[in-house]
Amino acid sequence: MSFLQDPSFFSMGMWSIGAGALGAAALALLLANTDVFLSKSQKATLEYLEDIDLKTLEKEPRTFKAKELWEKNGAVIMAVRRPGCFLCREEAADLSSLKPKLDELGVPLYAVVKEQIRTEVQDFQPYFKGEIFLDEKKKFYGPQRRKMMFMGFVRLGVWYNFFRARNGGFSGNLEGEGFILGGVFVVGSGKQGILLEHREKEFGDKVNPVSVLEAARKIQTQTSAAETK
């Protein structure tokens, strides 16, 4: 047992433990930057979206079915993860940049939020050029609600998104729930169906505005339908 008295034995043991810990940490970091542990999304059906209850943000709110948003002219709808998030504000500004072209197509732009805290929605409106509604039951964030917790802060893509938004001049706060991931929908008029469904896979995973516009051009609005008759 004389080897137990050898200092080099203990040094080698401590080095092995340290190397093992570093290897485990590196593996965890590598896996965190793949899609292995990401929440799997479930695509929504038109019937699911149609039956969602939304509320207006007036002093005397009106509750209505979501299908009212797209029934006549289709719609582009952003499910906002958190109004105070600077990444969400960046995406809202991107979508709002499409507003002139959407207006030409006769397609409205809307957003839904899952909570209304103090002036958060009001502070979000300068970034978003459409009407905003409340989805208290968080149905637009389903059918299978997905979350990203603190793993998001070790993902390289998230840090890239952070720097991109900061460099773009966007800022925000930490008010409200921000772990339930959002998305963007382009829904056709009537029973035309869901033309685009973008599910945020990590913080700051924005929809491609070009894809939104391409999908919006496929909408057969009531106005365009009347003109073709």
Catalytic residues, by residue number, are: 85, 88
Cβ count near 57 (within 10 Å) = 15
Decide the pairing of beta strands 53-55 and 63-65: antiparallel
What's the CA gap between 80 and 84, in Å, rounded?
A: 10
Q: Cis omega (within 30 of 0) on the bond before 108?
A: no
Q: Given the structure tokens 């899952």, which residue do they identify?
A: 114
- Check: CB of residue 193 under 8 Å from CB of residue 163: no
N-to-C CA span, the chain: 97
Task: Measure Cα distances from 68 to 9, 41, 73, 119, 204 in Å.
Answer: 74, 25, 10, 26, 29
- Check: CB of residue 117 under 8 Å from CB of residue 8: no
Alpha helices in the chain (DSSP H): 7-32, 46-50, 86-96, 99-105, 120-124, 156-167, 209-216, 222-228
Q: Which residues contact 226 (CB under 8 A, 6 or more apart)?
A: none
